[in-house]
Amino acid sequence: MLKIILVNLFLISSAYCYVDLKLEYTYSTRRVEAVDADGELDADLGEAKSTTKGFSVNWAWYVWEYTAIEFNYAESEERIEDDRSATDGSITINNQDSLVKTTTQGVGIRQSFANRKARIIPSISIGYARYTTSGQTTYKLTDGGVAREIVLNRDKEVTNSSYASATLAFKITKLLRLTFSAKTIVPGFEIDKADKNVSYFGGLSWVF
């Protein structure tokens, strides 16, 4: 009896078995101008520029029509360049350049809410993620009239985490889709930090 059940499950899964390979990219930039003595924004006093860019690769094996085992990998860089000067006594910070790199390796389950022939396919994914961060911050300052540069390295940190993502896929051809997704990483499985690590991606996926 058990053998018959296993064979039937295999035949059912084989009928829907296919792979969805998704490649996505993210890019965003934001600028904040300095404020003058009157509290007004003044670009001549400098600005802070934040830039985020990265990519992700998702490989999903659909073992049933709507359910897949998913493997994913992502890299991103966040850079903050701030040339708004700040003075504390004899020390003036003229420029700050901060770079944080993150990588995520994950495995989980993807659940779709439409079959692969639909024009619009929403899906969600949850699972385990290995979250790695590292970085560097460079300060250019004047100390008592002498120009100096200080470089601080951020130690590499690896955290066992979880992830959750939501995706909308729009069918272009039988095998090609346009995708938009949002993904959050929960470092150390601390749910209250979920909204602090959200990334948005856009890209393409291929079904075969």
DSSP E strands, the chain: 18-35, 41-62, 67-82, 86-88, 91-112, 120-143, 146-171, 176-187, 198-207
CATH for 178? 2.40.160.20
Residue 96: domain span? 18-207
Model-wide pTM > 0.85? no
Lowest-confidence segment of 116-120, 143-147, 177-181 by average pLDDT: 143-147
**pLDDT of residue 153 exceeding 70:** yes
- Rounded distance, CA 103 to CA 116, Å? 29
Is position 10 within any domain?
Answer: no
Is 8 part of any domain?
Answer: no
Number of domains in the chain: 1
Banded pLDDT at 144 (limits 50, 70, 90): confident
Are the C-beta atoms of residues 75 and 103 closer than 8 Å to each other? yes
Q: What is the pLDDT of residues 81-139, one digit of tens each?
A: 988 877 777 788 888 999 999 999 999 999 999 998 999 999 999 999 999 999 999 99
